[in-house]
């Protein structure tokens, strides 16, 4: 099984994440930011990951460090769990509708991290979750997971729906990309 666990403690956050890429969508998520917990749960359930995320962050400041640092550690755990990448599809993409909103993600588990993020939010916050942190989470996850990631809101008016569409699109793209279909590395170079 492709599993990994990482703990990381800084002056701003104390994070423990456990990930099983070949799970059943079982989650135990506690970050202190309710909407972010909801998004991480959606990510795990839709990707089919078993995911434990326990975070103690400096929420008295704001949610920035908690969300960004969670993205950093989740990316590191993902990179560790995916291993040598032998046989994986490597690429994945998904359009996800959430009522009036449509989100899109396309990615390559390439070891060449990059983020293109195209989403505008009308609200500053959804609960205690700052909408601008969506891009920060996606960047932290992609750069620490070795993933080239493109994420876009095609259209929509409800920020909850737009945000959730992006997290679920990421989940379905990851689910495709990590699927093992052969015993060779999908690269003309022979390395990733």
173 — phi, psi (to 5°)? -65, -40
- 131 lies in a domain? yes
* Residue 153: Cβ within 10 Å count: 23
In-domain check, residue 120: yes
pLDDT range class, residue 189, cuts 50, 70, 90 = confident
Q: Per the structure, how many domains does the chain have? A: 1
Q: Residues 145-156: what's their mean pLDDT?
A: 98
For the segment 8-40, what is each residue's pLDDT rounded down to a tens digit? 999 999 999 999 999 999 999 999 999 999 999
Q: Is residue 191 part of a domain?
A: no
Write out pLDDT tens, residues 76-112: 999 999 999 999 999 999 999 999 999 999 999 999 9
Give pLDDT, residue 45: 98
Query: Residue 79 is part of which domain span?
Result: 3-178
Confidence of residue 186 (pLDDT cuts 50, 70, 90): confident
Q: Name the residue with tokens 């400096």.
A: 58
In a domain, 189, yes or no: no
pLDDT, tens digit, 9 for 90 and up, residues 53-73: 999 999 999 999 999 999 999
CATH of residue 98's domain is 3.30.230.40
| 185 within some domain | no
Query: 73, 97, 156, 162: which is closest to 126 by C-alpha?
Result: 162
Distance CA 50, CA 67 (A): 19
Judge whether residue 118 has pLDDT over 80: yes
Q: Residue 157: is it exposed, middle or buried by C-beta count within 10 angstroms (0-12/13-18/19+)?
A: exposed
Query: What is the distance between the alpha carbons of residues 138 and 92, in angstroms, rounded to a whole number?
Result: 15
Residue whose tokens read 């793209």: 173
190 found inside a domain? no
- The pLDDT score that the predictor gives to residue 182 is 82
pLDDT at 184: 81
In the predicted structure, residue 187 carries a pLDDT above the cut 90: no
| pLDDT mean across residues, the chain | 96
């Amino acid at each position: 099984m492709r599993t990994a666990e990482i703990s990381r403690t800084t002056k701003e956050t104390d994070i423990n994440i456990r990930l099983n890429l070949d799970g059943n969508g079982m989650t135990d998520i506690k970050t202190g930011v309710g909407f972010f917990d909801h998004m991480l749960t959606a990510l795990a359930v839709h990707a089919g990951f078993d995911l434990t995320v326990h975070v103690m962050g400096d929420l008295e400041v704001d949610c920035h460090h908690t969300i960004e640092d969670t993205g950093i550690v989740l990316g590191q755990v993902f990179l560790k769990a995916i291993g040598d990448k032998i046989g994986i599809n490597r690429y994945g993409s998904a359009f996800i509708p959430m009522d009036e909103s449509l989100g899109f993600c396309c990615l390559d588990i390439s070891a060449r991290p990059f983020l293109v993020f195209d989403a505008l939010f009308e609200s500053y916050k959804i609960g205690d979750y700052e909408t601008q942190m969506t891009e920060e989470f996606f960047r932290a996850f992609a750069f620490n997971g070795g993933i080239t990631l493109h994420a876009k809101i095609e259209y929509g008016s409800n920020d909850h729906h737009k945000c959730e569409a992006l997290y679920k699109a990421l989940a379905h793209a990851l689910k495709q990309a990590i699927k093992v279909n052969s015993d060779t590395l999908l690269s003309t170079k022979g390395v990733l």
